[in-house]
Chains A and B, each alone.
Chain A
Amino acid sequence: MLLGNWSVRIGGGALVLLLVIALAAPWLGTVDPTLFDAASRDLRPGEVGEITNLDGETMKHVFLMGSDSLGRDVYSRVMYGTRVSLLVGLLCALLALSIGIVCGLAAGYLRWLDGTLMRFMDGVMAIPAILVAITLVAILRGSLATVIMAIAIPEIPRVTRLVRSLVLSIREEPYVEAAVALGTPAWKIMLGHILPNCIAPLVVQGTYIVAFSILVEAILSFLGVGLPPDIPTWGNVMSEGRAQFNDYPHNIFFPGVFLAVTVLSVNILGDGLRDTLDPKMAKRV
């Protein structure tokens, strides 16, 4: 049933392809993405140039997507960049979901904790996500761990809200009341009745978080406040190509397309999952 949905097929298929690219990057005709060669600066897509590898050997290389202002191969950087994006997306989503689920369950089930926790979450949500991310990375220095944390943190309140509202509404259902009347202890009710009905909306929300995280990471890198420039990410490549956009748009174009396609696939997958797993949610956003 899941695989019958077109959105799941298209989105999922594209993601599988990207995953393959990420894993197989070294064998897709790429070179080490950090290599550069001053002689091969600013080559247009398809041109041939030279690249010097770590041992000092020089070889001919076709720059399929051109080269940047330092002479690095854009194609290799884009291919390797897939790894970072997918990794960041996945880890951010997992982090936000796990913390959010715990907080949401607590808020929904423990009345005394609900008020304070939700106020706190409101406070965090009041600060626009990008600003939180930018500030956290600026203070803690850009490394993979900090970036992931910085992007995941603003997403936690939204997951908490979702789980909390699910818990509250499911608790009202007669079958949960029946379970109480049958003497089922609270933890069993939570695990056996409430959580299973939360999984579908959470999976859908998770995919949207993945998409958002990939976007934010790219924005951070683009603005220069993301991952360090030696790690090849799409945002970094675009950031370096900014100054020469008028003359050499390929620096922005290729990573941009990959970025857009990746985020698009995840979003399409999310929509497909939502339509199959949780049709009620199709009425919300």
Chain B
Amino acid sequence: MSVLDLRGLTIGLPRGAERSNAVTGVSLTVEKAEIVCLVGESGSGKSVIAQSVMGLLPKSLPVTAGSISLQEEDLTRAPEARLRQLRTTRMSMIFQEPMTALNPVMRCGDQIDEVLRFHTQESPPQRKKRILNILQEVSLQDPERMMASYPHQLSGGQRQRIMIAMALVLDPALLIADEPTTALDVTTQSQILKLILELQKRHGTGVLFITHDFGVVAEIAHRVAVLRLGELVELGPREEVLRRPRHEYTRMLIASVPALKPSGRESRSDARIVLETRKLSKTYSTRRWLGARRDVHAAADVDLELRRGQTLGIVGESGSGKSTVARCIVRLVDPSAGEIRLDGEDIAHLRAGALRGMRRKVQIVFQDPYRSLNPRRTVREAITEGPRNYGVPAAEALERAKKLLELVRMDASALGRYPHQFSGGQRQRICIARALAMEPEVLIADEAVSALDVSVQAQVLALLEEIRARLDLAMLFITHDLRVAAQVCDHVAVMQRGRVVEYGEAGQVFLRPRHEYTRALFEAAPGRGFAFGTT
């Protein structure tokens, strides 16, 4: 008997959506003690499937055909009361964002206790014992303190462990994990993945693991299901699907995943240094008038060199200071100390007026394509804004814009349209064109591909590479994704808690990391045993 059996599942979308069904004719099973990874890009319908099993879909997304069977009970025919009974007792779900997935005004212990109060008849002391047990099982230190804490007092990893504890406390047969590690740091992600594997083996839970990250698939899947626009295009054991994918979509996806090994680029160390930082620091002081003063060293003593025609990558987890460094260099933020030499001139402490000259030379592309463009401005206005600021006449700026759109592989008709009419990848291209309109010497990409689907990401990365080569730009590439860094960087700086802990040629750093943190980062990269990017 399968734990979960989906047969011909079809879920409709409301009228006016991009397609008629969110999910069409999907059939798959999850057996006892098995992990099935459901992979797909955004909009593929994977979350919809997950929520439909739990019965959490809104009425606007009805199950129009097929069945969902949990241990041979058809959930599509079950009344709401029965579904409520089954939740956390036979099937559980954990979600992507642990911060927002937990009730901020309720103690963590109480949130787990709620599950026990609603589904069992146990007495308070019995419940407390159960909770302490499960908290220990998920490797949370000091379970008593965890119980009394509120979610905002815990780290991302700790919160996700609380979610897992809440989901598994009643030992359900099925666990649905909807991208549970996507919002976590690489090292935390690796710990959570190990935890899930461990718990799953111990309790024999069947797991339906939703992800878009093939590295994770390589790390934990027994079987893999690939979803595209609501349809199941491939299903099979992990090794089969990853090494010998049958469907061309799967092949395309797997080929888009960058390898963890640097691509053997030649770095010319004789290239001119365009920008360098010396002992760059940024400290945030909070002073409350009745409390102590606290200093946060977002970045401390950072030394970097950017050479013409080369890409320097800054790799680090959240809080490492990599974005702070980028923002200091672009002078969106004033550095507290240190030098930033652009073509020899120190721009670190220039005032607003003097900065104007410098701004043309250093441009930046941000992470969120949905908020980087003013929704009320046309693409033409967005791209020509920069040059117009420097006195370039409108006609010439327009010509430049047209050429740049060509460079970023977009049609000139885009000029008259508004940002909301474009996809995430297209918007990023527009942002790149906007930055290039200034004819900069340095281009900073601050997590510029992190919010994009893997196939789109591959395209934008290739575009950035091409631009760098053609325009001989110096590029600073900020990312948390080691694979992306391996693909595009000549040199790499690894940052931890505001400091650069390792710096060198990409080949060196990736193949022979010296600092223990760098090594820990690589150990934690999911799917590092599997050689992507080589098929």
A touching B, CB within 8 angstroms:
yes
- Within B357-408, the residues touching A (CB, 8 Å) are 359-360, 362-364, 366-368, 371-374, 376, 385-386, 389-390
CB contact between B371 and one of A173, A179, A188, A197 (< 8 Å): that residue? A173
* Alpha-carbon separation in the docked complex, A279 to B325 (Å): 37
CB contact between B434 and one of A173, A182, A183 (< 8 Å): that residue? A182
Complex contact B366–A174 (CB within 8 A): yes
Tally of chain B residues near chain A (CB < 8 A): 23
* Alpha-carbon separation in the docked complex, A197 to B385 (Å): 18
* Alpha-carbon separation in the docked complex, A274 to B376 (Å): 18
Q: Does A181 contact B (CB under 8 A)?
A: yes
Complex contact B359–A183 (CB within 8 A): yes
Q: Does B438 contact A (CB under 8 A)?
A: yes
* A178 CB contacts on chain B under 8 angstroms: 364, 366, 372-373, 431, 434
CB contact between A181 and one of B332, B368, B374, B390 (< 8 Å): that residue? B332
- Within B316-367, the residues touching A (CB, 8 Å) are 330, 332, 356, 359-360, 362-364, 366-367
* A177 CB contacts on chain B under 8 angstroms: 332, 366
Q: Does A145 contact B (CB under 8 A)?
A: no
Complex contact B389–A185 (CB within 8 A): yes
Q: Does A193 contact B (CB under 8 A)?
A: yes
* Alpha-carbon separation in the docked complex, A113 to B390 (Å): 30
Q: What number of A-B contacts does a CB cutoff of 8 Å give? A: 49
CB distance from A94 to the nearest CB of B (A): 24
Complex contact A193–B374 (CB within 8 A): yes
Known contacts A174-B366, A177-B366; is-contact A182 B389 (Cβ 8 Å): yes
Complex contact A183–B389 (CB within 8 A): yes
- Within B445-461, the residues touching A (CB, 8 Å) are none
* B367 CB contacts on chain A under 8 angstroms: 174
Q: Does A56 contact B (CB under 8 A)?
A: no
Q: Does A180 contact B (CB under 8 A)?
A: yes
Complex contact A182–B385 (CB within 8 A): yes
* A197 CB contacts on chain B under 8 angstroms: 376
What is the interface residue range for chain A against chain B? 10 to 19
CB distance from B325 to the nearest CB of A (A): 15
Complex contact A183–B360 (CB within 8 A): yes
* Alpha-carbon separation in the docked complex, A241 to B435 (Å): 70
CB distance from A167 to the nearest CB of B (A): 15
* B332 CB contacts on chain A under 8 angstroms: 177, 180-181
CB contact between A174 and one of B330, B372, B386, B389 (< 8 Å): that residue? B372
* B376 CB contacts on chain A under 8 angstroms: 196-197
Q: Which residue of B lies closest to A175 (CB)?
A: B374
* A174 CB contacts on chain B under 8 angstroms: 366-368, 371-372
CB distance from A170 to the nearest CB of B (A): 10
CB distance from A194 to the nearest CB of B (A): 10
Q: Does A184 contact B (CB under 8 A)?
A: yes
Q: Which residue of A lies closest to B389 (CB)?
A: A183
Known contacts A196-B376, A197-B376; is-contact A181 B371 (Cβ 8 Å): no
Known contacts A174-B368, A178-B434; is-contact A184 B385 (Cβ 8 Å): yes
* Alpha-carbon separation in the docked complex, A185 to B385 (Å): 11
Complex contact A181–B373 (CB within 8 A): no
* Alpha-carbon separation in the docked complex, A177 to B372 (Å): 8
CB distance from A81 to the nearest CB of B (A): 41
Q: Which residue of A lies closest to B387 (CB)?
A: A182
* Alpha-carbon separation in the docked complex, A174 to B364 (Å): 11
* A175 CB contacts on chain B under 8 angstroms: 371-374
- Within B112-168, the residues touching A (CB, 8 Å) are none
Known contacts A177-B332, A177-B366, A178-B434; is-contact A183 B356 (Cβ 8 Å): yes
* B366 CB contacts on chain A under 8 angstroms: 174, 177-178
CB distance from A184 to the nearest CB of B (A): 5
* A182 CB contacts on chain B under 8 angstroms: 359, 363, 385-386, 389, 434, 438
* Alpha-carbon separation in the docked complex, A196 to B374 (Å): 10
* Alpha-carbon separation in the docked complex, A179 to B376 (Å): 14
Complex contact B389–A184 (CB within 8 A): yes
CB distance from A150 to the nearest CB of B (A): 37
* Alpha-carbon separation in the docked complex, A180 to B389 (Å): 11
* Alpha-carbon separation in the docked complex, A179 to B330 (Å): 12
Q: Which residue of B lies closest to A188 (CB)?
A: B389
* Alpha-carbon separation in the docked complex, A183 to B435 (Å): 11
CB distance from B350 to the nearest CB of A (A): 13
Complex contact A181–B359 (CB within 8 A): yes
CB distance from B432 to the nearest CB of A (A): 12
- Within A158-177, the residues touching B (CB, 8 Å) are 173-175, 177
CB distance from B399 to the nearest CB of A (A): 18
Interface residues of B (CB under 8 A from A): 330, 332, 356, 359-360, 362-364, 366-368, 371-374, 376, 385-386, 389-390, 431, 434, 438
Q: List 15 A-B contacts (CB under 8 A).
A: A175-B372, A175-B373, A178-B372, A178-B373, A178-B431, A178-B434, A181-B359, A182-B359, A182-B385, A182-B386, A182-B389, A183-B386, A188-B389, A196-B376, A197-B376
Interface residues of A (CB under 8 A from B): 173-175, 177-185, 188, 193, 196-197
Contacts beyond the supplied A178-B366, A185-B389: 17 A-B pairs with Cβ under 8 Å: A173-B371, A174-B371, A175-B372, A175-B373, A175-B374, A177-B332, A178-B372, A178-B434, A181-B362, A182-B363, A182-B385, A182-B386, A182-B438, A183-B359, A183-B360, A183-B438, A184-B385
Interchain residue pairs A-B with the least CB separation, the first 5: A182-B386, A183-B359, A174-B372, A183-B389, A175-B374
